[in-house]
Amino acid sequence: MRVLGAVTVVALAAGLVAGLGLAPREVTQGNVQRIMYLHVPSVWVAYLAFAVVFVASIAYLAKRAEAADRLAHASAEVGVVFTGITIATGSIWGKPTWGTWWTWDARLTSVSILFVMYLGYLLLRGMIDDRERGARYAAVLGIVAAFNIPLVHFSVIWWRTLHQPPSLMKPGPAMPRVIITALLVNFVAFSLLYVYFVAKRVHLLRREAEAAA
């Protein structure tokens, strides 16, 4: 765990240098575009976290494996943290580029619903005293809530929104290599941070369960 933590810190530092130093100033938006190196990897980790909740919830309902339940719980918690960061950094980015902190367009609204659904997931777990029943209900919610992820991702294609369409996986001219590299470094760093947080949280949940037994 310590090694993973150290590697994560190094990767995050590299991501910071790449995003704030090596990547060039964007022509249209100026330096405020550097928020992208934080905002986009955050939403990637949120998608990843909720996808893990989806798979672990199915595994829990199929096999009643407590390890799967703990993984779903930990991943949902970390996912909520990163979704919160996504919303906050997007709002900060929106003010100088769109002229507003917030607007109820399809992407912003759907990601807010995603955030609230997984907050509800965590609240549901905390509200039910019977651990097994709570895990079962949470697993059902973890599966249902995951159907919001494609809605969030494709909202910028399906509806007319203020938010820009996907930049990485779009047809047409690609971004400059140095921007893609800086983004990839941050993707790796944030993914490592996700793994570190989830591993630590799962370990804590296991110890809590042992202490309660």
Partner 1 sequence: MPDNWGFVLAAYGLAAVVLIGYWRMLVRQESDLEDRSRLAPSSGHLTPDSQATSARAGERSHAAPISGHPTPDSQATSARAGERSHAAPISGHPRPKPDSRHPLQ
> What are the residues binding partner 1 (CB under 8 A)?
16, 20, 25, 28-32, 34-35, 38-39, 42, 81, 84-85, 88-89, 92-93, 95-96, 193, 197, 200-201, 203-204, 207-208, 210-211, 213
Complex with partner 1: residue 86 or 110, whichever CB lies closer: 86
Minimum CB separation from partner 1 for residue 53, in Å? Answer: 17
Minimum CB separation from partner 1 for residue 93, in Å? Answer: 7
Terminal C-alpha separation, the chain = 25
Complex with partner 1: residue 36 or 106, whichever CB lies closer: 36
Complex with partner 1: residue 17 or 144, whichever CB lies closer: 17
Q: Could you give the C-alpha distances from 87 to 30, 38, 43, 73, 95, in angstroms and in order? A: 21, 11, 9, 21, 13
The separation between CA 47 and the C-alpha centre of its own chain, rounded to angstroms, equals: 5
Backbone angles phi, psi at 26, to 5 degrees: -75, 140
Minimum CB separation from partner 1 for residue 207, in Å? Answer: 5
Give the tokens for residue 211: 């202490």
Minimum CB separation from partner 1 for residue 25, in Å? Answer: 8
Give the tokens for residue 17: 């240098």
Backbone angles phi, psi at 30, to 5 degrees: 80, -155
Complex with partner 1: residue 28 or 126, whichever CB lies closer: 28
Complex with partner 1: residue 34 or 125, whichever CB lies closer: 34
- Residue 30 has what DSSP assignment? B
Minimum CB separation from partner 1 for residue 112, in Å? Answer: 17
172: exposed, middle or buried (C-beta count within 10 Å: 0-12, 13-18, 19+)?
exposed
